[in-house]
Chain A
Amino acid sequence: MATYSTNEFRSGMKVMLDGDPCNILENEFVKPGKGQAFNRVKMRNLKNGRVWERTFKSGESIEAADVIDLDMEYLYTDGEFWHFMKTDDSYEQVAADAAAVADCQNWLKEQDVYQVTLWNDDPIAVTPPNFVELEVTDTDPGLKGDTANGGTKPATLSTGATIKGVPLFINIGDVLKVDTRTGEYVSRAKT
């Protein structure tokens, strides 16, 4: 297995720490003029999303994590697993569990493409694109003529997710563009 030394650490590098794959976010070199050198590293645990800091002696090595991000098409869920297919015409599929899909459940639409993070070929995280377009399945009826005063209401989408900040003129059946990072309404999708 490949290893990386602290002086090779770069943000975006995937390494193993305490048995979990992590993504390096920041690497800070710390050294008193006459003392030993350290690297204070901020990393995100890719399994639980938590960010933590760890200090290494400079020159220490840690194991690289076999982690890749792949664009995959969402197929369906059987209730226990969410199935994704590679987009390279190999038709190869992977099944992600609820822990991997996590909040991305709110934004999954069949046939759309998501980023699936594979660790040793197992999916550990699913990341939606920044914007998704989803149909409204439930919302209070639109109020005619009330388009200017900026009032908003919640709306439930086809995935079951409820978003806030939806303008009053939006109706059931409309397709909305949603920012998945904030979970907020952006606009009505162009049809």
Chain B
Amino acid sequence: MSDWRPSARFEHLQQRAGLLAQARAFFAQRNVIEVQTPVLAKHSVTEPDVQSIQVPDYGYLQTSPEYHIKRLLADGVPSCYQLGPVFRHGELGRLHNPEFTMLEWYRLDFNHRQLMYEVADLVDELLGPKPYQHLTYADLVGGVASGPREMLDLAFAEACERLTPGRFFITDYPADQAALARINPDGQTAARFELVIDGVEIANGYWELLDADEHRQRFAADGEIRRHRELPAMAVDEEFLGALEHGMPKCAGVAMGFDRMVMLACGAKDLSDVLAFRGTR
């Protein structure tokens, strides 16, 4: 018999609906407007550790609304958020689903530290208030901090799993893990933060890099790693770069895994318990 039933029970779906409404109310109150950018677009990210799902003749399902939202900001749209589906190829497990709900928002004139406080405000709103602890990336991974990148990623993942129970902000990522964050004045670390709650990575934020040339260099470096690892080549999104050349206002942005938030709110241990239907391969 076919397994047609939902993977989450109704009480959890109800709780999800409540959290979605709460999140929208939170932003409405702060005059952060909701935007809806394409889920399917011609380009996607160059990052070597994020694989996009390709759609023949159309491009890619978006792994994050980042590029589109930044194009809106460059055109004068004020602080805004998107709450909707994003897609990642090959990610399936207890805490991963190839399609998941991302809450991503951008705040004009914030730096990453100010945005961290707002993330904490939202989390307090959705999960109830609790204290937050602050760690640096080096605190977290300890002695392997200078090892090869793949050892670092594993050490980081395992260290995050051990950050339980509690809410932890991690900052001062190594500069080569800046993604699209600014480099701190020390030249060694990036203006990037993550939030880990009860051992689960919840949010990742940046004080956004604005310089178009620096973007080009980072995209080229991504392309180099992709070639080296024999991953599919990703064309650089010239429309995104065009917006940066035009000029994007100073801002900080953060992406939050909303399904994981629902999971924590429900006390569930697996995304299957909070997704109406679990993705398959």
Chain A contact residues, CB within 8 Å of chain B: 7, 28-38, 55, 57-59
> Measured between alpha carbons, how far is A36 from B161 in the docked complex, in Å?
15
Q: Select A29's contact among B91, B150, B179, B257, beta carbons within 8 Å.
A: B91
- The residues of A that contact B179 with a CB separation of less than 8 Å are 34
Q: Select A28's contact among B94, B153, B177, beta carbons within 8 Å.
A: B94
A29 with B94: CB separation less than 8 A: yes
B157 with A29: CB separation less than 8 A: no
Other A-B contacts than A7-B92, A35-B153, A37-B91, 15 sampled, CB-CB below 8 A, are A28-B93, A29-B91, A29-B93, A31-B49, A32-B156, A32-B157, A32-B160, A34-B47, A34-B177, A35-B49, A36-B49, A36-B154, A37-B90, A38-B154, A55-B154
Is B201 located at the chain interface by the 8 A CB criterion? yes
- The residues of A that contact B152 with a CB separation of less than 8 Å are 35
- The residues of A that contact B177 with a CB separation of less than 8 Å are 34-35
A30-B93 contact given A35-B157, A37-B49, CB 8 Å threshold:
yes
B96 with A29: CB separation less than 8 A: yes
- Shortest 7 CB-CB distances between A and B: which pairs? A29-B93, A35-B153, A36-B153, A32-B157, A30-B157, A36-B150, A33-B204
In the assembled complex, how far is the CB of residue B13 from the closest CB belonging to chain A, in whole angstroms? Answer: 24
Is B227 located at the chain interface by the 8 A CB criterion? no
Is B149 located at the chain interface by the 8 A CB criterion? yes
- The residues of B that contact A32 with a CB separation of less than 8 Å are 153, 156-157, 160, 201
In the assembled complex, how far is the CB of residue B67 from the closest CB belonging to chain A, in whole angstroms? Answer: 16
Task: Count contacts on B: residues with CB < 8 A to the other chain.
Answer: 27
- The residues of A that contact B49 with a CB separation of less than 8 Å are 31, 34-37
> Measured between alpha carbons, how far is A29 from B179 in the docked complex, in Å?
22
For this complex, 8 residue pairs linking A to B, each with C-beta atoms less than 8 Å apart, are A29-B91, A31-B91, A31-B157, A33-B201, A34-B50, A34-B179, A37-B49, A57-B150
- The residues of B that contact A58 with a CB separation of less than 8 Å are 90
Q: Select A36's contact among B94, B149, B204, beta carbons within 8 Å.
A: B149
Which residue on chain B has the smallest CB distance to residue A57?
B150
Chain B 151-181 per-residue mask, 1 if CB under 8 angstroms from chain A, else 0:
0111011101100000000000000010100
> Measured between alpha carbons, how far is A176 from B246 in the docked complex, in Å?
85
- The residues of A that contact B257 with a CB separation of less than 8 Å are 33
In the assembled complex, how far is the CB of residue A77 from the closest CB belonging to chain B, in whole angstroms? Answer: 45
Which residue on chain A has the smallest CB distance to residue B153?
A35
> Measured between alpha carbons, how far is A29 from B150 in the docked complex, in Å?
15
- The residues of A that contact B93 with a CB separation of less than 8 Å are 28-31
In the assembled complex, how far is the CB of residue B90 from the closest CB belonging to chain A, in whole angstroms? Answer: 6
